Structure 1
């Protein structure tokens, strides 16, 4: 009897120990931290795939427990895949759900041997479809897609139903696209995903109700700043503040900034702040340091309300360096300066060239016989200089080389002619007066009468142009007649220097510029003229 009693006592102690150990093993959850609680509502006959919520569960130890409503007992779920409830690689499988599977399921992720995190999910099984099975409804003004609420991140195929009728011509994806939605689009949308486990196919379904909301009759929000597609000039590495100002007429509106459709993080140097004032909202984006990526990006200020989403875009542009602009200005200035110098230096040649082309052949004869009447005087000190110039360079260049016809006393007058009548006639038949000035000369003679007639013709009647040529330096012109001084005030004399006998010298070009174009009938006498004088370089 004592032996039997002892054995009975040992059996009771053993059973009590196992019970305590089992109770400790499950009740050890009091040491685990519960971080997530949720509820899933499913239909009987379907199957459920439920991964351990921790993202690292595949590489960590995760086991499953459950407390059934029917038995009120806590039990650990095994890994025997022959049972309809088991877990494999930390993923829970409940195949062909029954009403008895309703209960609390706990995924226990062991961070260490004595530390774990628990994820609790209450699973409720319905025998038939019930509105409680609906996931979050989709109230939209104009919805574009409806996402399937089940089988996320799971290899499966999808079929969609509307009000439990198969939707034709669908894409069999985990999202359903709705085109041109209207009130007729309202209803219950159900997606059925089919997945495979151990060679057998299982179904899981999820339903959502779509409700079309009538657009608000109120006025939409309006942007005050910035202007759409505007450009902000900035520099890399500088701080920048972008302000988006909006006039609101709704209470539930949101304003925020994005870059290339991506939200901005304060840790990356972007800070957003909203200020409300008198019905206006300002969304202020502070960029701590503008980067090269910012210059290649598009910043958008977005307004979201219950009905629509509108935005304006802003592009950042680097401030252009002033060095290229300065170099361009300097180069342009130097180029203009060089061109101006070239034009100024060759302007006389250009005018002579164009005049030879456009005026000479179109000029009408004016009845004049001489191109110029030469007036000069000399004394004992200047006689040789004047004689060499008039009978040498002047005649050689103007008559022999350039074809002008000149009247010179002592060469073109005849003995015995009336001097006064001759002077008046020859001056009237001349287009220009060439007056030779020499230092120390007090009058222009012989005869002085030709100077008087010439000055009267030039100053009073204004019919004849005057060319003043000065031989040598002169301190002043006070010794000259007043009429001649008046001409000197209006036109500077052309200064002759030795060594300017070449017809290509600038002195003779200036004389030619003031001379008229030689008459065409005078060109016939140029047969003996060298080729260089008939086409002087310009």
Structure 2
């Protein structure tokens, strides 16, 4: 019965082959002979292929014969002619077919038609298989040897090329341009996958082709203990109740898996696994077993799963346990709390940054205090005449706050023209001298501030000192709102472009207000002692002259 089935299968394959041949020969009025059997060439995607006609006579008959190359598509369109234009990626020249930078679409059956006479031809078939990545199917033949052996490169057989050899994908030194690799004193350590990479040129462009062979040695007395590749013993797999889970176990038994070697899954020290699906595969000396858990249960979470490997001499196993996946809610809550805390700390730091800077500045000044030869902390420049009643009152109110906060509370020493000068002194010389002895200029801006005011000379000297010489810092204080600054001198307009003025509003006289903190931040560091004259002088005697 088995023999009959085998014969029937052979007849079916023979008939299908005849149908295939008749389908692609139907395009020609002459029936070509097929003297050779079909051959197979394997190539990796991205590499190039130089394919000669499979027959030796066909290869050498380029002078007296002609050639046609085709690719078999399907029964509807049996043959697709291949062109001879060398600019095309797939083309042929006489008996050689070029497939440059091959792709997966190049896989298929290729027909070489050789016309050795006008009405006589032979056809040869070649299966070309393009693999996307390296696999064991790319290996040509397995060489089994017991002594020194020579491994020939399966590609670039009739080409001028340079060669590189690799063992297990590592370069073998001192084997450049060697087409046949000789292995002397071969042993078990010589086993592995040997790959040759040949580099050849076509139209001035370099192309690579590669071929791999596996070399093995048979030693009946040699045995290998099972070695677990996956999983690691006592490993934990994170999952959820109700989820589908596949556990993988991979065990190496040496180059050749023995017939009585096996692996299987067990649970809780029991080999039976009813209700679970197991699937085993053998590949490259290893056995892989997959345990499919359709729905993870609470019982599975409390169980111990074992992958058991068995050979004729011993039984070994590794354990795997399942663990419920931790909830992400605590993590999200912790992240939100951390974010809010950082946000709050950032807001606090931003709000109190001015106070912190003032405090640190006082501390570092006391530790690194240096004398600069200046007599006054600031020279006050203000419009004092030609003011309307409202502006004059605003200036008067601000003057009281300025003297109270900066001099009496914080101990700064201010020079105010009309208060601190002596009668009969040269006004211009006095102004220049006092400005040079001041660390800052406080310029009070009002809607009437301009060059026509009596304080114009103060302003000109102060701007020259700040802008030209750069020795004195300027603090601009604006009283009330201003639509624009076009009425101000150009020097003031330049300073306003570089730094916005501090705007004072009526009633803002508390030393702890943000306005006075900003003024104090722009002032030089306060001396370590309060000025006794500022402390002991009554407030009404310190009014700024208006």
Question: CA distance change for structure 1 residues 458 and 312 in 2, over 3 Å: closer, same or farther?
Answer: farther
Q: Distance in 2 between matches of 1:361 and 1:279?
A: 77
Question: CA distance change for structure 1 residues 481 and 298 in 2, over 3 Å: closer, same or farther?
Answer: farther
Alignment of 1:454-473 (within 5 A): 454-473=462-481
| Residue 383 (structure 1) aligned with residue 389 (structure 2) | no
Q: Distance in 2 between matches of 1:235 and 1:441?
A: 77
| Residue 316 (structure 1) aligned with residue 316 (structure 2) | no
Unmatched 5+ stretches in structure 1? 1-215, 531-538
Shift of 1:369: 0.5
Alignment of 1:337-356 (within 5 A): 337-356=343-362
Shift of 1:397: 0.5
> Among 525, 528, 532, which residue is 1:520 paired with?
528
What is residue 228 of structure 2 aligned with on the other side?
223
Of 300-309 and 403-412, deviating more is: 300-309
> Among 272, 284, 294, which residue is 2:278 paired with?
272
Shift of 1:492: 1.3
Unmatched 5+ stretches in structure 2? 1-220, 539-546
Question: CA distance change for structure 1 residues 498 and 475 in 2, over 3 Å: closer, same or farther?
Answer: same
CA contact (8 A) 1:401 1:529 kept: no
1:422-468: CA deviations, max 9, x gaps? 11111111111111011243338423122122122222222211111
Shift of 1:303: 1.2
1:22-63: CA deviations, max 9, x gaps? xxxxxxxxxxxxxxxxxxxxxxxxxxxxxxxxxxxxxxxxxx
Shift of 1:222: 2.8
Alignment of 1:99-498 (within 5 A): 217-249=222-254, 250-267=258-275, 270-378=276-384, 379-381=386-388, 382-390=391-399, 392-443=400-451, 445-498=453-506
* TM-score of the superposed pair, with normalisation by structure 2: 0.54
What is residue 175 of structure 2 aligned with on the other side?
none
CA contact (8 A) 1:294 1:316 kept: yes
Helix, strand or coil: the match of 1:386? Answer: helix
CA contact (8 A) 1:400 1:526 kept: yes
> Among 506, 514, 526, which residue is 2:514 paired with?
506
Aligned residues: 313
Helix, strand or coil: the match of 2:366? Answer: coil
Shift of 1:526: 6.4
| Coordinate RMSD, CA, aligned | 2.5
Which of structure 1's runs of 4+ aligned residues deviate more than 4 A? 521-530
* TM-score of the superposed pair, with normalisation by structure 1: 0.54
CA contact (8 A) 2:408 2:535 kept: no
Shift of 1:523: 4.4
Helix, strand or coil: the match of 2:518? Answer: helix
Shift of 1:528: 5.0
Question: CA distance change for structure 1 residues 492 and 302 in 2, over 3 Å: closer, same or farther?
Answer: same
Shift of 1:243: 1.2
Shift of 1:406: 0.2
Question: CA distance change for structure 1 residues 528 and 303 in 2, over 3 Å: closer, same or farther?
Answer: farther
CA contact (8 A) 1:361 1:520 kept: no
Q: Quick check: which has more Rg, 1 or 2?
A: 1
Q: Distance in 2 between matches of 1:455 and 1:527?
A: 31
CA contact (8 A) 2:407 2:534 kept: no
Shift of 1:388: 2.4
Helix, strand or coil: the match of 1:439? Answer: coil
Helix, strand or coil: the match of 1:517? Answer: coil
1:136-174: CA deviations, max 9, x gaps? xxxxxxxxxxxxxxxxxxxxxxxxxxxxxxxxxxxxxxx
